[in-house]
Amino acid sequence: MGILEAIIIAIVEGITEFLPISSTGHMIITQAILGVESNQFTKAFTVIIQFGAITSVLFLYWKRFFQSIDFYVKLFIAFIPAAVMGLLFGDLIDDMLEQVDIVAVSLLLGGWILIYSDKWFAKNLHAEEAPVTRKNAFVVGLFQCIALIPGVSRSAATIIGGMISGWNKKQAAEFSFFLAVPTMFAASLKKTYDVVKIDYHIITDHWGIMLLGCIVAAAVAFLSIKTLMKILQNKGFAPFGWYRVILGGTILALLMARVPLEIVK
Using left for φ > 0, alpha for ψ between -120 and 50, and beta otherwise, residue 19 falls in beta
Position 15, amino acid:
I
Average pLDDT score over the chain: 86
CB atoms within 10 A of CB 84: 12
Residue 127: pLDDT band (50, 70, 90) is: low
Lowest mean pLDDT among 101-105, 137-141, 150-154, 197-201: 197-201
Mean per-residue pLDDT, 233-252 = 89
Closest CA to 222 of 44, 105, 52, 96: 52
What percent helix, strand, coil does the chain show, rounded to 5?
A: 80, 0, 20
Mean per-residue pLDDT, 255-265 = 66
Lowest mean pLDDT among 67-76, 117-126, 183-192, 223-232: 117-126
Mean per-residue pLDDT, 165-169 = 87
- Radius of gyration from C-alpha coordinates of the chain: 18
pTM (2 d.p.):
0.84
**At residue 265, does pLDDT exceed 50?**
no
Residue 236: pLDDT band (50, 70, 90) is: confident
Residue 195: pLDDT band (50, 70, 90) is: confident
Tell how far CA 231 is from the center of its chain: 18
Looking at per-residue pLDDT, the higher value among 233 and 19 belongs to: 19
pLDDT at residue 152, as a whole number: 87
Lowest mean pLDDT among 46-50, 72-76, 120-124: 120-124
**At residue 97, does pLDDT exceed 60?**
yes
pLDDT at residue 133, as a whole number: 92
Residue 264: pLDDT band (50, 70, 90) is: very low
Contact call for residues 30 and 8 (beta carbons, < 8 A): yes
Which of the 8 DSSP states describes residue 257? T
**At residue 125, does pLDDT exceed 80?**
no
Q: How far apart (Å, rounded) are the C-alpha atoms in residues 20 and 233?
A: 14
Residue 124: pLDDT band (50, 70, 90) is: low
